[in-house]
Amino acid sequence: MSSKIETILQSLTLEEKISLLAGKDFWETVPIPGKGVPAIKTSDGPNGARGEVFSGGTRAACFPAAVCSAATFDPEFSKRIGGALAEETKTKSARVLLAPTMCNHRHPLGGRNFESFSEDPYLAGKMAANVVKGLQENGIAATIKHFAANEQETDRLAVDTIVSERALREIYLKPFEITIKEANPLAVMTAYNKLNGTHADSHTFLLKQVLRGEWGWEGLVMSDWGGVNSTADSLNAGLDLEMPGPTRWRTVEAVTEAVQKGEITEATITERAKNVLNLIEKVGGFENPEIPPEQSIVDPKHSKLIREAAGQGITLLKNDDNILPLKKEAVKGKKIGLFGLAKEALIHGGGSASLNAHYRVSPEEGLKAAYGDDVEFKYSKGAHTYRLLPPLAKSCKDAKGNAGWTMELFKPGQTDKAIKTTNELKDSSFSPILDNEAKDKEVRFSATFTPTESGSHYLGCSGIGPTVVTVNDKVVFEQKDNSPDPMGFLLGGNPEKEFTVSFTKGESYKIQIHTKPPVGGTDWGILAGLPGFRMGFMTQQEHDVDLVIQAKEVAKECDIAIVFTGHTPAWETEGQDQLSFHLPRDGSQDKLVETIASVNSRTIVVNSTGVAVALPWLSKVSALVQAWFPGQEAGNAIADIISGAVNPSGRLPVSWPKRIEDAPAYGNFPGEVKDGQLTVKYEEGVFVGYRHYDRVAKEKVQFPFGFGLSYSTFAISNSKVSRTSAEAFSATAALKNTGNVAGSTVVQLYVGRKHQSPEHPIKTLAAFKKVFLQPGQEQTVELSLALKDFAYFDEASKSWKVDRGQYDFSFGQSTADIESVVTLDLEGSRELKL
């Protein structure tokens, strides 16, 4: 503790110390001007510094999602991205970035998998540690999240995750441990969920024993937004900062009373306040307390990095007869059909990772820029991919006769007199997350709608709380209960039940939407008392048109067809797990691919998701490119791969099952409800991802962990492993580019027992290195690893061990492509000091 912090602490009253332990507002800490304590600002998020507005705010750079970054298998890119994120964070006047997200990919339907790196804790830890290094070397505090075992969105505020200590240590805590020890992040964010019966924000084992005790970490622990569930327990366990503010649990009165009752000591309050002050000091808050307005600055260096990183992460999964790359000279004068989501830049998922990007390059734009006038492009959408009907905006007039809607706010139960009226609102949606005036109020939206065509029209509606829609005073929709996931509602992921209403062209209709705050929502944290709704609208002609017929005709006349599939942010988002292993909506994308492939033998699919999805049409297409969510340069990066300007080198950071039933957590996701409590049991233990698939029939795996194709070929040979100390090893292997194109591959080193045991994975990733080679070039690749990289946690002795015996050191380019094995006799270690 610096002398400055010590002096400030001594000057603070108990009440002032308590005031520091929760946020001032949604993003800032509490200042104490009279004692020289400034506020500092935080910002989301993992793939870009969004700033303080959730939707449509200050523009920001959108970097590749973490899963795309992990697919590079290149920690240096992560460090460079961290450095660029630091510069972006400064443009938003923030000093703390709420990133990286580093929870494990436990199940393919996890809603936030895209925001995290991998199913493998070693890969995730190495990538995350380098993001942290890049951020903090440039003066911005990293906040690693969500600590811990936060692998699903279903009932995420209350779900109880039941996991063994061994699985917790080896899989779910390991990325955090690597990052803590290698990069020393200045902040850690706790998870929403319970872990083995206790909420993460008050989990003594996680925060005291492991994080601050065994790992010796001394930074600041903050809650997820609205993720505090107690006063005394969270303070005693080690949660320094409740976010956001104003506080719900840490009022001066509540904490003072707890001190007086002996539930908390003043020394604990002082310790928590010290950690807040330390963070302020480490990010330069005392030196420069100013928080200027946010800025939007397009940095060409960042744009170049985003394109480069995306190109290195995009993963080629199938390439029959080397249909790719489509070299410019080879396709000159050809017709190329673009289908599906070609006009949409799927650059990020939904929720905390979403932002208002500086720009977004669609695949169509990227390809047209790459090929110019040498190629004729034809486009047909071919599939409905929306999740929510678009809000009703056109042909609506407010109470004053102007275009738009009228909003009225009422005191609860007093809807005869509005306390506030606003006109000319653009559409039929209301999201009041930052509007304190709407808190604990009823809201009514109304408009006079004049349809432009007759017949049935489709509507869809949902609210945070009870919501009713009337047309000419007749109820056409009623939601009597609260939203099943209020945060999911705000982030655009809640499903809406569609219904039809008949309208006659030219007639006027009075439409009203009346919504109330959530019933009994006092425990909803930041959403308590907030009303909100959205109503979508689509004409029958738009809704029922068979888009695939038109696409089929276009595909027939094209020389090559490229179908763009994937998840928009509404389908893959924070707040809700995936609805299905199949691409949305209602099989339309799968049908599109099948149809195009049936009439065009040269069909290429480019898929943009953060997770594995079902591929029922895989055998019928010539090529498959997994583009992930590659950031604002998406279209250019995809075009680089398609055209051959960049040789693909991405490798899967997740295993890709053929069926969801083959996933290791199947049957234990998202859990079971008993007595009102959702509980999810991690019955698969340590056998997550490839640790599971290594033990099952190969035909259950579509693509193995670490897999990815190149426009060249590579071979590994002459591998050697030697011991350099009691706990460390040096490994080498010869890598040769056996093709005729310069490119990169990833040398992956796995370690496992020669004589397999049902209690342990067959092999575990212990080292990796990405290497670039010219055609015919051969290079000796050096890897370093240690016993701790493949040790297991022994629950009986509460220690890390490597048992005595023979171990295979397997060198390969995926878990299923092992090219060289070295076997060593190891004496083992009874207890490792990690």
pLDDT of residue 493: 59
Residue that wins the pLDDT comparison between 594 and 542: 594
pLDDT of residue 525: 61
Domains defined along the chain, listed by start: 300-385+546-703 (3.40.50.1700), 396-426+432-531 (2.60.120.260), 714-826 (2.60.40.10)
Pairing between β-strand 42-43 and β-strand 420-425 as defined by DSSP bridges: unpaired
pLDDT of residue 522: 55
Per-residue pLDDT, averaged over 4-10, amounts to 95
**181-195, 343-357, 625-639: range with lowest mean pLDDT:** 343-357
Res. 434: pLDDT tops 50: no
pLDDT of residue 524: 63
pLDDT digits (tens, 9 = 90+) for 220-245: 999 999 999 999 999 999 999 999 99
- Residue 575 pLDDT class (50, 70, 90 cuts): confident
Per-residue pLDDT, averaged over 521-545, amounts to 81
Per-residue HEC secondary structure of 562-600 comes to EEEEECCCCCCECCECCCCCCCCCCCHHHHHHHHHHHHC
Q: Confirm if 1 and 274 have CB atoms less than 8 A apart.
A: yes
Per-residue pLDDT, averaged over 686-692, amounts to 98
Residue 395, burial from CB neighbour count under 10 angstroms (0-12, 13-18, 19+): middle
Res. 523: pLDDT tops 70: no
Res. 684: pLDDT tops 50: yes
Q: Confirm if 110 and 62 have CB atoms less than 8 A apart.
A: no
* Stated pTM of the model: 0.94
Residue 171: count of CB within 10 angstroms of its CB: 28
Q: Beta-strand (E) ranges in 1-148?
A: 42-43, 96-97, 141-147
Res. 521: pLDDT tops 80: no
- Cite the DSSP H helix spans in 456-507: 486-490
pLDDT of residue 519: 82
Quick one: what percent of the chain has pLDDT higher than 70?
A: 97
Q: Confirm if 710 and 318 have CB atoms less than 8 A apart.
A: no
Q: What is the rounded distance in angstroms from the CA atom of residue 338 to the CA atom of residue 516?
A: 44
Res. 442: pLDDT tops 90: yes
pLDDT digits (tens, 9 = 90+) for 300-310: 999 999 999 99
pLDDT digits (tens, 9 = 90+) for 704-723: 999 999 999 999 999 999 99
Alpha-carbon dihedral angle through residues 320, 322, 323, 326, given to the nearest 10 degrees: 150
**124-138, 434-448, 580-594, 728-742: range with lowest mean pLDDT:** 434-448
Q: Helix or strand or coil: residue 309?
A: helix
Residue 416: count of CB within 10 angstroms of its CB: 6
pLDDT of residue 638: 98
pLDDT of residue 253: 97
Res. 145: pLDDT tops 90: yes
Give, for 177, the enclosing helix (H) or strand (E). Answer: helix 174-183
Residue numbers annotated as active site:
224
Q: What angle do CA 699, 702, 707 make, to 5 degrees?
A: 120
**82-86, 483-487, 551-555, 818-822: range with lowest mean pLDDT:** 483-487
pLDDT digits (tens, 9 = 90+) for 746-798: 999 999 999 999 999 999 999 999 999 999 999 999 999 999 999 999 999 99
What mean pLDDT, rounded, does the chain reach? 95
Q: What is the rounded distance in angstroms from the CA atom of residue 85 to the CA atom of residue 98?
A: 11
Pairing between β-strand 533-539 and β-strand 429-430 as defined by DSSP bridges: antiparallel
Q: Helix or strand or coil: residue 768?
A: strand
Pairing between β-strand 141-147 and β-strand 42-43 as defined by DSSP bridges: unpaired
Residue that wins the pLDDT comparison between 447 and 488: 447
Copy the structure tokens of residue 115. 């925001």
Q: What is the rounded distance in angstroms from the CA atom of residue 693 to the CA atom of residue 666?
A: 13
pLDDT of residue 484: 74
